[in-house]
Amino acid sequence: MSASERPVPLIYVLNGPNLNLLGKREPEIYGYQTLADIEASCVARAGNLGLEIAFHQSNHEGALVDLIQGAREDGAGIIINPAAYTHTSVAILDALLTFSGPIIELHLSNVHRREAFRGHSYVSKAATGVICGLGAQGYLLSLDAMAAQINAAA
């Protein structure tokens, strides 16, 4: 079913490399919630907002490109934490530039308070908005913002 045919808008929530280790990976930076915890809270929030979500994580750049291309078929919006690919991936930027709906770039940590290389994002060029530094709450805020974007466009 295409995005416009879907009764409930489908939002892709995409997560890049090493985010499968959330909870164990540098928890002082990324928090103690696992990605499964975050997915469960996103499913609940999306339900309250009248959205459906397709939640994915991959450690592979091409797999993320494939998911973004998939969102062109049936997705109303994309929320993406590209993780390290934020700072390196023209391929993910180019894929996002082909998507016509709202795109929210998301980071758990405040990338601007960290190493200088994290201050540059290729992805921001395609993003409608960027949320960073608010930990797992950023996922829920992104969904709130996505609902507002979609309602404003309707």
Is the CB of residue 115 less than 8 Å from the CB of residue 88?
Answer: no
- CA-CA-CA-CA torsion sign (114, 116, 119, 122): negative
Which of 124, 53, 114 shows the shortest CA–CA distance to 82? Answer: 124
> Is 30 one of the annotated active-site residues of the chain?
yes
3-class DSSP assignment, residue 37: helix
Closer Cβ to ligand DQA, 104 or 108, answer by number: 108
x-or-dash string of contact with ligand DQA, 9-28, rule CB under 6 A: ---------x----------
Tell me how crowded residue 106 is: count the other CB atoms within 10 A of its CB.
24
Closest distance of CB 85 from ligand DQA, Å: 8
Work out whether 107 is an interface residue with ligand DQA (CB under 6 A): yes
Amino acid at 51: L
Residue of the chain from 35, 42, 51, 111 that contacts ligand DQA (CB under 6 A): 111
> Is 107 one of the annotated active-site residues of the chain?
yes
- The residue ranges that bind ligand DQA (CB under 6 A) are 18, 81, 83-84, 86, 107-109, 111, 118
